[in-house]
Chain A
Amino acid sequence: MGIIKAIKLGFDYIKYGEDDKDNEKVRAIDGIDIDVEKGSVIAILGHNGSGKSTLAKHINALLLPSEGTMWVDGMDTKGEEDIWKIRQKAGMVFQNPDNQIVASVVEEDVGFGPENIGVPTKEIWERVDQALERVGMTKHRKKSPNRLSGGQKQRVAIAGVVAMRPDCIVLDESTAMLDPNGRKDVLDTVLDLNRKEGVTVIMITHYMEEVTRADFVYVMDSGKIVMQGTPREIFSQVEKLKSFHLDVPQITELAYELKKDGVDLPDGILTRDELVSALCGERTEE
């Protein structure tokens, strides 16, 4: 069993009416099966309202399934006694950096989580030091978070998660508000954690370029998983993705358009390097 596993996961939001009889159910995810291998980098794609955040909130037991089961490192999220262990295992970083920062000094913010779960003071500081170092924010530790740029704030939020020593980090559109440098920063930071410490990364994003860096991709539509595979497998299916209101990276789109016009290119080109070699390769052979 992978570190994150769901079988037939379903969730209904309840809209409460005047009377209990009028309560309405909104099915947000429906029959989801996933199995995420420890140490992998996963991307989840889907149009607005397809259920990505709802699924993500099941991973750290912010939401509990209406149907089916979600396991985090073998623990059923419905088992109440495990809920804090689960939240420690799986940390979340959200879209808006301003809503995630609780303290008025960076280092206190990072120490907030460990303190909350009763980590001894000495160890809290060790963890804070390490986490800040890990995300490259040590030199800003005494600063007030609202004096940081968006990308820096997101790195503080990630440090807060890192200080909990999670096995898995879930990024729910954590780069959406950042400039190109900030986006790269955040992504490099978590991929580095993945490589060096084996942290499993689950990223939800609308930036198709970011998806090319995942090992495996799930595509959601109307609360269901409708496609899954490697980025190359997924991005080879341009028309199908578009039918789910999604897109492919610009380079892939360009390759696809060129191919449609008869230029001889392989399917599912993902990166600039690949397209450059495919277009210019023959020159070196001559």
Chain B
Amino acid sequence: MLLELKNVSYTYNKDTSFAVNALENINLQISEGEFVGVIGHTGSGKSTLIQHFNGLMKPTDGQVLYMGEDIWQEKYDLQALRSGVGLVFQYPENQLFETDVLTDVMFGPKNQKLSPEECRERAVNALRRVGLKDKYFTASPFDLSGGQKRRVAIAGVLAMNPKVLILDEPTAGLDPHGRDEILGQIRKLRDEMGITIILVSHSMEDVAEYADRLIVVNDGKIAFDDTPKAVFAHYKELEAMGLAAPQITYLMHELKERGLDVDINAVTVSEAKKSIEKALAGRKKH
């Protein structure tokens, strides 16, 4: 098993009157090459959860294992863990700090002690992968628009060539093309390089389209852990948790109610299209 959480609980400000139980007894296994989506209402515990995967947060209770090893055992190399498990934070643009974009993205590889040429090459590749135009490479990160900064921040983690890539809402604030481009690139990293992806998102449409497994966090607990289709079939329960299903799910249910024989489990535009066309063809025959 690549990553495993065993009975993990986390309490902020433990033993004070401000204590918040952010995670309660989480058990989770993630295998190599999976594309896992994580959804949950704001404050449900998603960010807290994923920071356990690369040892940025230490569970108040329970164990975190990476390739079978307890990351909190004595003398465990957390530094190595963090270059293997890359984390793109929520609001990552708050962490840009170098004077120009390229230097900023080279920061990670430099820490990995690569040669200057290699660092540069990694940085340039990563920036191209996130679709930032070459003309911005020498710009100050502070002079970029919101979405441009986001791309730089993602490139910074990609440049470290991680084995597991965790992204906390990477597409919030990206334009539709940028969103498709970045998620498409992430999917390619998984398909071509076998990188394991964990994607936290508030977009039900995006996880439906890209993830092959979906974890739903609700009040610090795991409410569902299944394929997106199976999870979105519980759309009424999801709504009670502050979530929703993709627009397509609602549409398919309404069409079915109105007598069109469609597949109510379709969650993406292309699935819906196929199913509707089939149902329409069936209706003509009758």
Q: Interface residues, chain A, CB within 8 Å of chain B?
A: 13, 15, 26, 46-50, 53, 95-96, 98, 149-151, 173, 176-183, 206, 208-209, 242, 245-247, 249-251, 253-254, 257-258, 261, 263, 272, 275-276, 279-280, 283
Contact = CB atoms under 8 A, between A and B. Distances in A.
Nearest to A242: B177
B169 A180 contact: no
A173 B247 contact: no
Given A13-B143, A280-B258, A181 B242 contact: yes
Contacts of B269: 250, 253-254, 257
A245 B145 CA distance: 15
Interface in B5-46: 40-43
B42 A48 contact: no
A179 B41 contact: yes
A151 B44 CA distance: 12
B172 A181 contact: no
Contacts of B40: 179
Given A48-B147, A49-B147, A276-B255, A206 B248 contact: no
Contacts of B148: 48-49
Contacts of A247: 176-177
A180 B178 contact: no
Given A48-B148, A49-B144, A180-B202, A246 B175 contact: yes
Nearest to A47: B175
B160 interface: no
Contacts of A257: 269-270, 273
B260 interface: yes
Interface of B: 40-43, 90-91, 140, 143-148, 150-151, 169, 172-179, 202, 204-205, 242-244, 246-248, 250-251, 254-255, 258-260, 269-270, 272-273, 276-277, 280
B259 A53 contact: no
Given A177-B202, A181-B242, A257-B273, A48 B143 contact: no
Nearest to B41: A179
A180 B247 contact: no
Given A251-B251, A258-B273, A177 B177 contact: no
Contact of A95 (B173, B242, B255, B273): B173
Nearest to B173: A176
B277 A180 contact: no
B247 A251 contact: yes
B247 A279 contact: no
A272 B249 CA distance: 11
B147 A279 contact: no
Contacts of B172: 95, 176-177
A46 B147 CA distance: 11
Nearest to B18: A147
B155 to A, nearest CB: 14
Contacts of A249: 247
B184 to A, nearest CB: 14
Contact of A179 (B145, B242, B254): B242
B146 A179 contact: no
B242 to A, nearest CB: 4
Given A180-B243, A272-B250, A149 B260 contact: no
B41 A181 contact: yes
A182 B242 contact: yes
A181 B280 contact: no
A245 B175 contact: yes
A253 B169 CA distance: 24
Nearest to B243: A180
19 contacts: A15-B143, A48-B146, A53-B145, A151-B42, A173-B173, A180-B202, A181-B41, A181-B244, A245-B175, A246-B176, A250-B248, A254-B248, A257-B269, A261-B273, A272-B251, A276-B251, A276-B258, A279-B255, A279-B258
B99 to A, nearest CB: 12
Given A250-B246, A263-B277, 5 more contacts: A181-B243, A181-B244, A250-B248, A254-B272, A257-B269
The residue in B42, B143, B144, B246 that gathers the most chain A C-beta atoms within 10 A of its C-beta is: B42
B255 A48 contact: no
Contact of B273 (A50, A96, A254): A254
A107 B61 CA distance: 36
A227 B141 CA distance: 30
Contacts of B42: 149-151, 177-179, 182
A176 B170 CA distance: 11
The residue in A96, A98, A242, A249 that gathers the most chain B C-beta atoms within 10 A of its C-beta is: A96
A245 B178 contact: yes
Contacts of B246: 250
B247 A283 contact: no
A56 to B, nearest CB: 12
Contacts of A180: 202, 204, 242-244
Contacts of A177: 42, 90-91, 169, 172, 202
Contacts of A250: 205, 246-248, 269
A275 B251 contact: yes
Contacts of B144: 49
The 10 lowest CB-CB distance pairs between A and B, nearest first, are A48-B147, A245-B177, A247-B176, A150-B42, A280-B258, A181-B242, A49-B145, A180-B244, A149-B42, A47-B175
